[in-house]
Amino acid sequence: MSKKGVLLVNLGTPDSPETKDVRKYLDQFLMDERVIDIPKLNRMLLVKGIIVPFRSPKTSKLYKEIWGENGSPLLYYSEIQAKLLQEKLGDDYHVELAMRYQSPSIENALANLKAGLVKSIKVIPLFPQYASASSGSVMQLVMELVSKWPTIPPISFVSSFHDNRQMIEIFAENAKKHQPENYDHVLFSFHGLPERQLLKCDHTGNYCLKNADCCQTYNDTNKFCYSAQGHHTASLIAAEMGIDKDKYTVCFQSRLGKEPWVQPYTTDVLKKLAAEGKKKLLVFSPAFVADCLETLYEITVEYHEEFKTLGGEHVQLVESLNDHPKFIEALAEMAVS
């Protein structure tokens, strides 16, 4: 009997923390037309001529700080998630893991599903909130690759799961380990995006960024907006934990370049809170389903040190979903729906 195929796809990671592998990863990542959405020639000059040569050695040092005995934390947890999902779904399903950039590749994962003669494929990009540069890029590549097959099985995609009940519960559970009542303020720090990418998702042309509160209420007009989905995720976690609106802030990290990105920037929020006398911050990063460079280093090390120089005392990361059993349940429900 034919099995149903499930393809999990996360962002990606260098094959090693060495500069040559980081360079290879950054080149593939940043040359994606959906990640840096400018004309190809301009993108090539920017990425290959400026960003990759200068950032690779610096980023290599950061990866070396988080690289463990199991290698890249992102790949390690992603592999566990795929393994546990396969066990959860059983023999009627064939689960494959891929990374949008580097290894294991989407092309090889799809080839494995094709060789397994699966009768359908469910693609689950492991990004809770939809963005053209993440989920959209995965969907586009899958469709491009499968379009070349002589026989194309039924294929479906999970666009986003920003309001998934199990995910909300896991983040709340993980936060409770740190006794949130002992913190002065809570941050929900999402990966940033250029404002122009948010504007492209506004099909009305007259809603996005027209006022400061356009993302804070999730509705039919902004339902595909990354920022609006992020605010919705944060509000659901806050409600689960009983955190009042004035006790938390949604912000955005990992800005690249000088053009406007979605705001407020996490670094600016740190300065503001320190100036208000806040000493201890609890930080969620709900754009990620597995701890990675952005959580284990950018938040845990960089933001912690920055906050201390500003007069604060401690920045505490709330662990990601990683190998939590409830997240495997959530993936299983997505796979069979």
Backbone angles phi, psi at 121, to 5 degrees: -135, 125
Q: Count the neighbouring beta carbons within 10 Å of the beta carbon of residue 239.
A: 12
Q: Is residue 213's pLDDT more than 90? A: no
Cα 52 from Cα 193, distance rounded (Å): 19
Q: Is residue 244's pLDDT more than 80? A: yes
The pLDDT value recorded for residue 30 is 97
Element (H, E) at 151: none
Cα 29 from Cα 13, distance rounded (Å): 10
Cα 253 from Cα 268, distance rounded (Å): 10
329 annotated to a ligand binding site: no
The pLDDT value recorded for residue 243 is 96
Cα 261 from Cα 156, distance rounded (Å): 31
- Work out the pLDDT band at 236, boundaries 50, 70, 90: very high
CATH of domain 165-317: 3.40.50.1400
Cα 296 from Cα 311, distance rounded (Å): 22
Q: Count the neighbouring beta carbons within 10 Å of the beta carbon of residue 130.
A: 22
294 annotated to a ligand binding site: yes
Helix pair 226-241, 165-176: axis angle to 10 deg: 50
Q: Is residue 8's pLDDT more than 80? A: yes
For the residues 27-38, what does the mean pLDDT come to? Answer: 97
- Work out the pLDDT band at 202, boundaries 50, 70, 90: confident
Quick one: what percent of the chain has pLDDT higher than 90?
93
Backbone angles phi, psi at 174, to 5 degrees: -65, -35
Residue type, 70: N
Cα 21 from Cα 30, distance rounded (Å): 14
Give per-residue burial for 30-67: e unless 16+ CB within 10 Å, then b.
Answer: bbbebbbeeeeeebeebbeeebbeebbeebbebbeebb
The pLDDT value recorded for residue 310 is 98
Tokens at residue 4, please?
A: 């149903």
Strands 185-191 and 155-157: unpaired
- Work out the pLDDT band at 201, boundaries 50, 70, 90: confident
For the residues 121-140, what does the mean pLDDT come to? Answer: 98
Q: Is residue 1's pLDDT more than 80? A: no
Query: Can you give the pTM of this predicted structure?
Result: 0.96
Per-residue model confidence as pLDDT tens digits over 40-76:
999 999 999 999 999 999 999 999 999 999 999 999 9
For the residues 171-198, what does the mean pLDDT come to? Answer: 96
- Work out the pLDDT band at 256, boundaries 50, 70, 90: confident
The pLDDT value recorded for residue 270 is 98
Tokens at residue 276, please?
A: 């208000």
Q: Is residue 206's pLDDT more than 90? A: no
The pLDDT value recorded for residue 212 is 81
Per-residue model confidence as pLDDT tens digits over 42-51:
999 999 999 9
* Residues carrying CATH 3.40.50.1400, the chain: 4-160, 165-317
Quick one: what percent of the chain has pLDDT higher than 70?
100
End-to-end alpha carbon distance in the chain = 20
* Sequence-distant (≥ 6) Cβ neighbours of residue 183 within 8 angstroms: 280, 281, 282, 316
CATH of domain 4-160: 3.40.50.1400
Mean pLDDT of the chain: 96
